[in-house]
Structure 1
Amino acid sequence: MEKPDKVDPLTEKERDRSNFVRKFVQGYKEPDQMLKDYDTGIPKRIVHYWNDLDNLPQDVNECIESWRSLKESGFDFEIFDENSAREFIKTNLGSRFENAFNLCYHPSMQSDYFRYSYIFVKGGFYIDADDIYHGMSIDDFFKDGRLKLQPFCYDIETAQMISASNFVFQGADKWSWIFYFNTTPLIAASNHPIVERVLLNATQALENCTKEELPEVQATTGPGILTESILEVISEQKNPEETMLVLHNWEKISTSKWSLSYRNDQRNWRLSNQKSYHS
C-alpha cells in the first residue's frame, strides 16, 4: 500500500480496525465444517423498521415491497415503528435496553439499535427499508446460524464508496480506503455472540454520552461500533469463518436505493448527525 504524504485521517485504532477487516475479508475461506453452535438454521423472517409508519414515503415502501416476492419461498415479514420497537425491546430485554433505545435521537440510530435487539432475541434477517431486492435466492444464508454481513470500503480521498468487486480480492488496498462491515443486512440465529456484543457495546456507548453533545451516529450504533464488536469477538479466534460469513457479492442481491425523497431532509442521518431531530 502506498503511503500518503499527508497525515492519516484515521486514528491508530481506526487504522488497525480497518486493516483487520481488509485482511479478514480478502482472505476469507469457507470452513471445512460448521461449529456445533451454528449447526442450526435461521428463521426465514425478514424484518424492517421505519419510525413513523403513518408517514411511510411511497418510494421507501416500494423498496420494502420488493422483498415480498420471497413469501413464495416461505419467508415471513415483520415491520416495526418506533412504538412497537420500543415495546419489543422493553418486553424482551428490559428497562436498561429500553432506556438506551430512548437515547437514540435519530431514526437511523433507532433502526440500528432495534436490529441488534431483534436479531439477538429472535434471529432472522434484518434489512434496511431503503434496500431494494434484485430477485436472487437467499435461501442458503438461512441453512446455518452464523452471522452474515456485507463488507464495505469507503475512499476518503474521493469521498465515495468502493464497489465490492474492487476491494474483496487479495491485496486490494489504498491508503485512503477504510474497510468496515455494514449493518445491513444483518442475518443470524438468535443469541449470536457478535450480535450480543454489539448490542451491549451500543448500549454502553449510548449510556456514556454526555448531555452536552449528541453522539456520532456511526460510531455509537452504526458500522463503527458493529465493526469494533466483531474485532473484539473474532480477533483471537483460530477460525473466525466458523462464526460469520462475509457476503462478498451482496450487491447482486440487494442495493441501497439512493434516489429516495427522504434523503433530502433531516430524516437522512447524514444531514442530522449530532443534531437535534424533530419528526
Structure 2
Amino acid sequence: MDVFPNSTLTRFPAGFHENDELRSQFIRALLLQRSTEAQVEVAGASGILKVLVRFWHDAQAVPYDVAECLQSWLSLRDAGFEIVTFDDASASDYIAKTFGPRHVAAFERCNHPAMRSDYFRLCYVLTAGGFYVDADDVMTEGLWSTLYEDASLKLQPLCYEIPSGIMIPVVEIWDPDIPTEGRIFYVNNNPLVAPPGHPIIRRALERATSALLKGSRPKDIQSTTGPGNLTAALAAHARELALEGLPRDFELMRRWDRVAETRWDLSYRADKRNWRNVVWS
C-alpha cells in the first residue's frame, strides 16, 4: 500500500504548482509515495535514444576544467552513444529548425548562458529525447544503464534548507521522519533522461516560453527556465495522473551519484559565467 495514496496528491487544488510552498509539499508527498514508479509499457527497450547531450555557450572558449568534465563521458561511445555538445549558435539553429520564431525569440531573451542552457535542453529533449547532462558533471561509477531500463522520464529530487543555505544529502530526503520546516523539496533539471515528446518536458517548455516572452526579460533563472520551472511542470502533471488513476511515467532517482556528480571547484564559478554571481540591474 502507498504511504501516501493518490488521494493525498489530489487534495492539492488546481493551480497549486505555481505556489512555492504547496509545490514543495507536493514533491515531498511524491517522495514518500511508494509506487511501482515508471510503469511505462515497453517491449524490450526503453525507447530512449543513446545520445548524450551537453551545452557550453561558447564552443571556442571552453575552460580547461570544464573540458575535463566533458571528456569524462567519452567512454559512453563504446556503449553505442552519440555524444554532442551545443553552444549558443548551434542551439539557436536547432531551435529554429525544430520549433520556429516564437521559441527562437524566447531563447534570445535568455539573458545568461545558464538560462540558455536550461531552455535549450527542454527543446532538445522534447523533440529528440536522450540523455542531457550539465557540462560541469563528471561520470562516477558510470551506471548509466539503470537510466535506460524503461521509457520513463528520469529526474533527480533535491532538498534545500533555507536557514542554513545548504543542500540536504539526497539519501536523507526519502526519510519520512526528517524535518520539513524551512526546506524546499524540488527536482533538478539536470540530468534529463527521456523519450521524445514527454508531457512533463512539453509543459515545462511551454511554461518557460510564455514567461520569457511576457513583459520585460525575466531575471529569476531558477523559476523561469531552471529547476523551479521543471518542478512546477512535474507537480501539475503528477496531480493529473493521480486524478485519472494512471501510473507514473516518470522516476525520481535515488542514486544519480552512481552515474555522475557535479564538479564544484571549477574556474568559471568565480566570475559572471556563474549565474549565482550575477547582480541583475
Moved over 6 A (4+): none
Aligned to 1:109: 115
The one of 26, 45, 49 aligned to 2:32: 26
The residue aligned with 1:44 is 50
Map of 2:161 onto structure 1: 155
User: Is the alpha carbon distance of 1:12 and 1:75 closer, same or farther for their aligned partners in structure 2, counting shifts above 3 Å?
Assistant: closer
1:97 equivalent to 2:103? Answer: yes
Of 131, 141, 145, the match for 2:151: 145
Q: Provide, for residues 122-153 of structure 1, a one-character-per-residue CA deviation record: whole Å limited to 9, x for no partner.
A: 00010000011103321131232211000010
Relative distance call for 1:224 and 1:32 in structure 2 (3 A) is closer
**Aligned twin of 1:244:** 250
Equivalent-residue separation in structure 2 for 1:177 and 1:101 (angstroms): 31
Residue 204 of structure 1 corresponds to which residue in structure 2?
210
1:235 to 211, 235, 239: 239
Decide whether aligned partners of structure 1 residues 259 and 31 sit closer, same or farther in structure 2, where only a CA change above 3 A counts: closer
Aligned to 1:131: 137
Question: What is the identity, as a one-letter code, of the residue corresponding to 1:202?
Answer: A
Identity %: 37
Map of 2:223 onto structure 1: 219
Q: Which residue of 1 aligns with 2:195?
A: 189
Give the total of aligned pairs.
Answer: 263
Shift of 1:274: 3.4
TM-score (normalizing by structure 2): 0.88
Give the 3 Å change call, closer, same or farther, for CA 186–235 of structure 1 in structure 2. same
- 1:168: which partner in 2? 174
Residues 84 and 207 from structure 1, CA distance in 2 versus in 1: closer, same or farther, beyond 3 angstroms? Answer: same
Instruction: In structure 2, give the amino acid aligned to 1:110.
Output: R
Distance 2:267 2:273 in 1: 10
Question: Given that residues 143 and 258 in structure 2 are in contact (C-alpha distance below 8 angstroms), is that contact kept between their aligned partners in structure 1?
Answer: no
Displacement of 1:243:
1.1
Quick check: 1:35–1:242 contact (8 Å CA) kept in 2? no
Give the unaligned 5+ runs of structure 2: 1-16
- Given candidates 57, 62, 71, the residue that maps to 2:68 is 62
Question: Does the CA contact (< 8 Å) of 2:38 and 2:150 recur in 1?
Answer: no
SS of corresponding position for 1:210:
coil
Secondary structure of the structure 2 residue equivalent to 1:242: coil
Match of 1:53 among 35, 50, 59: 59
- The one-letter code of the counterpart of 2:250 is M
Residue 27 of structure 1 deviates from its aligned partner by 2.0
**1:72 and 2:78 are equivalent in the alignment:** yes
